[in-house]
Amino acid sequence: MSKGSSGIRYVPAIAAGKAVRVATRLRGGGSAFPGYLTNRLAPSLLATLAEGFQDGIVFVLGSNGKTTTTHMVSEILRAHGLKVFTNPTGANLPQGVTSALLADATLTGKVKADVAVLEVDEAYAADLADILHPRVIIALNVQVDQLYRFYETERVADMMLDAATRASVAVVVNRDDPYLSKIDESSLAAPVAFFGASRELVAQSAHGLVNAADTRSGNAGVADREATAEVVALDGRDVSVQLPEVRVDLTIPARGLHYAVDAAAATAAVAALLGSRFRTDATAQGFSRMAPAYGRGELVPLRPGRTDEQVEFVMFKNGPSLQLNLDALESAPERLLMAIDEGTPDVSWLYDVDLDKLDHVDVVTGEKAYQLATRLAYAGIPIGLVEPDMERAVQHMRALPTTTSGRQTWFVNYELMMIGRRLLGHGDQEVARR
Amino acid sequence: MTALRIVQLYPVLLGVTGDRGNVDVLAQRARRAGLDVTIDSVSPGDDLPDADIIVLGNGPLSALRSVVDDLRDREPALRAHLERGGVILAIGGGAELLGSRIGVLDGDDLDGIGLLPYRVDRSRDRRVGYIVAEAPEGRIVGFEDHASVYRLADGAGPYAQVTAGKGGVPYADGRAGEGVRVRNAFALNVQGPLLPLNAWFADLLLAEAASAAGLSYERSGELDLVDGYADGARAAIEERATKHFTAIDL
Ligand SMILES: [Zn+2]
């Protein structure tokens, strides 16, 4: 591929008008990002900042679960007594990582933390790794995601595999992922630690882990790999991860096999980074301190000044994340809002998601409400109201009788999660991971 | 009673843009019209069952390379299917395979199976966003996301004239066009997927397929609810595609 330094710019004309996805360069051509840095900063500043972390840097890459896993790794390290620097939720492009580091740096060019845990956009991971020299790189999964941006899913796999060659201590890889499980260990500078879920747990999950089929090697499925961190038990939010020597029992912040697998990845990464300093009790303690991340099982009161009914936000950004979150439901939501707007340009994947978990939807909203309603109707799911305007949809949800469970469930894309939170009076609490 | 037989080719490798939605819509509409329906999936190496409608979905270049030899072996069967009046719906990468050749920017070009009268060249510019196009039987509304330009053989023309969006099948005079129809084979880039958003198009395919099979298809009134939602989706897309800067540009 040689796309030069051209990029895709996406300008959503959404109501909020805020969420701008920054231009991305497609990897393989000219190297736009180092140029960007050279133009704006002393070229060595970022590298100097990186060297200040005595316990090094961890990169978290993946189509789904980056934010959650970054949060998990950070909390486990904190529970081990380390001071952790991490980039704010979603600030995973070079500009975001750079400005977060600069914001925390002292005038002498030092960030006062022992270790950095960074969620990094796949498209920039290799370039950033060349500058920051991460010790550990976690590659969570390759799922069909943002084709309008990446064109072909295998390119996303190559971005992660390419970045992985830059890790100096460990590459932590999902063995249940068709592309990633075929990682060429001879290309790497560091040993691989595979994580995953037991065969039984994957088989019990209605749609497995929804990782992308490998379309290029002749084997669409996974290569057989031994996991060094394996989810061996899952009951609600209680998870057991088997490590080579010990088993760690954890309580994770939200239900779902994908979160349990993220927890195995985080545990494997910390074990690799800390070596003999790794402790299972501190690991469990790190998880117990975690609050649910923004839009991932978080609860917000439905009506101001009242606590009798909460909204559980469930964010999805693509087919796999919607499927995994549906699969994680204990039962059909009693009161359900679903929302998609133009922040999600192509919603063809709605037809690849199995919606059997739902028995009705109360309100369908967002600019793409009628596209979603069409999909739901073909799935035979009754709809109470289609109201493209989110504000009116929220009013309608508030006017419905109180649920017996005291809980409404709102499945939302990122942009409408932000708007929905604001409409509920929780708008500006952009969650820093401390 | 004879069933309407739908076959989806390579659903695992060619199915990244909700292609099973097109299959599902055909099946549900046919069943509501009182027809029995069978759906078969065919992977490389499988026998091709007798079919009234064959659906070929979208996928990456690596997937096209991995299925093309298998598809080429089926070319005589597909040609016979078309000559009997059978329907083929091919979207994106699957549609490109039905032409004579796919010219790629990096790496080796790929020979198609030569069933339909075009070659396709991958382009540097990507065409992404909503698309609206006027076909003889109705207005096509959906989402396009491709980097390909069709070159039609002499005597062939685009199926629909693009009124918003880009399209991938230009007219000889340079106007934007989209899709190719030869007999009852339809090749398009339109996702969304195509058929839920374009009920008239699904009904056209079903009527053609039924008639070739000696059955008859008449749209059921039970579809009023879902088609009403689809009308709402079409109106929102048309509004955005024509009045706003389309979502994505290179
Ligand atoms: Zn996840």
CA distances from A234 to A200, A289, B73 (A): 11, 19, 47
Q: Name the residue among B141, B147, B151, B10 with its Cα closest to residue B68.
A: B10
What are the pLDDT digits (tens) for A220-240? 899 999 999 999 999 989 999
| Cβ-contact B56, B95 below 8 angstroms | yes
Per-residue pLDDT, averaged over A291-309, amounts to: 81
Q: How many CB atoms lie within 10 A of CB A293?
A: 20
B219-245: burial string, b at 16+ Cβ within 10 Å, e else: beeebeebbbbbebbbebbbebbeeee
Mean pLDDT by 10 residues, chain B (250 residues): 92 92 98 98 96 96 94 98 98 98 94 98 92 98 96 96 96 96 98 97 98 97 98 96 57
Q: Do B197 and A12 touch (CB under 8 A)?
A: no
**Whole-angstrom distance, CA of residue A156 vs CA of residue A142:** 7
What are A's interface residues with B at a Cβ cutoff of 8 A?
1-3, 6-13, 144, 147-148, 151-154, 213, 215-216, 218, 220, 342, 345-352, 367-371, 373-375, 377-378, 386, 388
As a residue count, chain A comes to 434
Q: Sorting pLDDT into bands at 50, 70 and 90, what band is A96?
A: confident
* Interface contact flag, A370 B236, Cβ < 8 Å: yes
Residue A2 has pLDDT above 50, yes or no: no
- Contact B25/A378, CB-based, under 8 Å? yes
H or E segment and range at residue A230: strand A229-235
Report the percentage of chain A scoring pLDDT > 90.
Answer: 63
Known binding positions of B for substrate:
126
Helix H or strand E segment including B146: strand B138-152
- Output the pLDDT for position A142: 93
Which domains does chain B carry?
3-240 (3.40.50.880)
Residues of chain B found within 8 Å of residue A370, distances taken between Cβ atoms? 229-233, 235-236
Residue B4 CA to residue B28 CA, distance in Å, equals 11
Mean pLDDT (chain A) is 85
Highest mean pLDDT among A163-167, A291-295, B12-16: A163-167
Q: Which of B8, B12, B16 to mutate to test the interface with A (most CBs of A within 10 A)?
A: B16
Please tell me which of the candidates B143, B225, B245 has its beta carbon nearest to residue A346: B143
Closest residue by Cα to residue B193 from B70, B53, B23: B23
pLDDT number for residue B250:
35
Minimal Cα distance from A221: which residue of B? Answer: B12
pLDDT digits (tens, 9 = 90+) for A6-56: 222 222 221 222 222 222 223 333 333 443 443 355 557 778 888 889 999
The three-class DSSP label of residue A386 is strand
Task: Enter the tokens of residue A21.
Answer: 């996805």
pLDDT tens profile A367-391 = 999 999 999 999 999 999 999 999 9
Helix (H, G, I), strand (E, B) or coil at A35: helix
d(CA B205, CA B162): 21
- The residue in chain B having the minimum alpha-carbon distance to the alpha carbon of residue A353 is B18
What contacts B150, CB < 8 A, 6 or more positions away?
B99, B118, B119, B120, B158, B168, B169, B170, B180
- Of the candidates B18, B247, B36, the one whose C-alpha atom is nearest the C-alpha of residue A375 is B18
Q: Which residues pair with A339 in a beta bridge?
A: A365, A412
The pLDDT assigned to A83 comes to: 97
ipTM over 0.85: yes
B12, burial (CB in 10 Å: exposed 0-12, middle 13-18, buried 19+)? middle
Confidence grade of residue A296 (pLDDT, cut at 50, 70, 90): low
Q: Are A139 and A119 in contact (CB under 8 A)?
A: no
Centroid of ligand 1 to alpha carbon of A177 (angstroms) = 14
**8 Å CB contact between A285 and A79:** yes
